[in-house]
């Protein structure tokens, strides 16, 4: 007799994964998360594979876990997955002391953080619409002049 399963908090076309207790500051982790936001999963994994940031490998594992959750638990197509959200949160902070001159000490903060990656299945027609939206207003004005 277990407890009843709770309702799904994400829509049917999304899956997520969380990596906790990553030994990096949230600010540095957010730089890596910014690299993958809004990209297709295969492009995001390629960017993380060749990133020079140390924490990029842990973020890559989290993205791969989100893809595996989407494929195995929610039967989503992995070819149409996009990193919809990648957000970073603070975790615990270890406080240590560093010996200084004249018998004094100073605090050393060793922060931990966590990252949540949400992947979303996007159909091809939605993909084309989103690519069309990225054009600038100047490009729209040029196209309008050509139409006249």
Each residue's pLDDT tens digit, 111-134: 999 999 999 999 876 666 666 555
30, 57 Cβ separation under 8 angstroms = no
**Residue 146 is assigned to a structural domain of this protein:** no
Query: Could you give the CA distance from residue 65 to residue 90 in angstroms, rounded to a whole number?
Result: 21
**Residue 1 is assigned to a structural domain of this protein:** no
Q: What pLDDT sits at residue 104?
A: 97
**Residue 143 is assigned to a structural domain of this protein:** no
Residue pointed to by tokens 């876990």: 65
**Residue 18 is assigned to a structural domain of this protein:** yes
**Residue 52 is assigned to a structural domain of this protein:** yes
Query: Could you give the CA distance from residue 115 to residue 109 in angstroms, rounded to a whole number?
Result: 20
Q: What pLDDT sits at residue 125?
A: 67
Q: What pLDDT sits at residue 42?
A: 97
96: containing domain: 14-122
Query: Could you give the CA distance from residue 31 to residue 61 in angstroms, rounded to a whole number?
Result: 17
Q: What pLDDT sits at residue 55?
A: 97
Does residue 5 or residue 13 have the better pLDDT? 13
CATH number, position 58: 3.90.470.10
Reported residue count of the chain is 148
Q: What pLDDT sits at residue 8?
A: 86
pLDDT digits (tens, 9 = 90+) for 6-53: 888 999 999 999 999 999 999 999 999 999 999 999 999 999 999 999
Q: What pLDDT sits at residue 120?
A: 97
Q: Is the pTM of this model over 0.85?
A: no
37, 85 Cβ separation under 8 angstroms = yes
Number of domains in the chain: 1
Residue 8: which residues within 8 A CB-CB, separation 6 or more? none
Half-sphere exposure of 50 (CA within 13 A, CB side): 5
**Residue 139 is assigned to a structural domain of this protein:** no
Residue 144 pLDDT greater than 80, yes or no: no
Q: What pLDDT sits at residue 131?
A: 62
What value does the mean pLDDT of the chain take?
Answer: 91
């Amino acid at each position: 007799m277990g407890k009843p399963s709770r309702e799904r908090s994400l829509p049917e076309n999304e899956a997520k994964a969380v990596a906790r207790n990553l030994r990096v500051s949230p600010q540095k982790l957010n730089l890596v998360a910014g690299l993958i936001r809004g990209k297709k999963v295969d492009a995001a994994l390629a960017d993380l594979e060749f990133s020079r940031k140390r924490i990029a490998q842990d973020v890559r594992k989290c993205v791969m876990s989100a893809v595996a959750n989407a494929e195995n638990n929610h039967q989503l197509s992995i070819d149409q997955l996009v990193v919809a959200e990648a957000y970073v949160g603070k975790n615990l902070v270890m406080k240590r002391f560093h010996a200084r001159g004249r018998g004094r000490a100073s605090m050393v903060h060793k922060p931990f953080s966590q990252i949540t990656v949400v992947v979303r299945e996007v159909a091809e027609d939605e993909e084309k619409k989103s690519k069309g939206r990225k054009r600038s207003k100047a490009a729209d004005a040029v196209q309008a002049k050509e139409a006249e």
